[in-house]
Amino acid sequence: MDVTIYTDGAARGNPGPGGYGAVLQHVDGNGNLHVKELSQGYECTTNNRMELLGAIAALEVLKAPCEVTLYSDSQYVVNAFNQHWVDGWLRRGWKNAKKEPVKNIDLWKRLLAAKAPHRVEFVWVKGHAGHPENERCDQLATSAADGEGRIVDEGFDRAGAAD
């Protein structure tokens, strides 16, 4: 099954209240478009964590292995795979090229697990450039960041929040 995913994350302050948004699209065998939207807000988090959680939430909702094209305006997320940063982190025991611990390890591990059953192509899209699905993800993310029902980002480490 082919699935197209669009994701975005937002934080009001860095750190601050945040949220993610994701739009999943699939065209079935009869040519019918199926769309699912996801979002969640968090009390205190960072933009990068929300960018990661958008991708994670979208991949985790898939019930069977899929061919996925995932669009994100986050170079942090896209480059981690397309420029093979993750491969280096894994080789170095979750250390970056400067031999420092990789930030957001909890979410990177969760993303790798969510991605594992699928073939995923990561594609960067310029944010706030009029791309309809990216704009919708931004609306979902910012509404979640600003809205009721925000939850605690359990993995957020205020001491290492500068990401």
Quick check: helix, strand or coil at residue 116? coil
Whole-number Å distance between alpha carbons of 145 and 27 = 30
Q: Which long-range contacts (CB under 8 A, 24 or more apart) does 28-33 make?
A: none
Q: Is 163 annotated as a binding residue?
A: no
Q: Is 133 annotated as a binding residue?
A: no
Q: Is 87 annotated as a binding residue?
A: no
Whole-number Å distance between alpha carbons of 54 and 63 = 17
Burial of 154 (0-12, 13-18, 19+ CB in 10 A): exposed
Burial of 4 (0-12, 13-18, 19+ CB in 10 A): middle
Nearest CA-CA partner of 35 in 147, 124, 140: 140
Active site residue ranges:
8-9, 51, 73, 128, 138
Q: Is 73 annotated as a binding residue?
A: yes
- Residues in binding site for Mg(2+): 8, 51, 73, 138
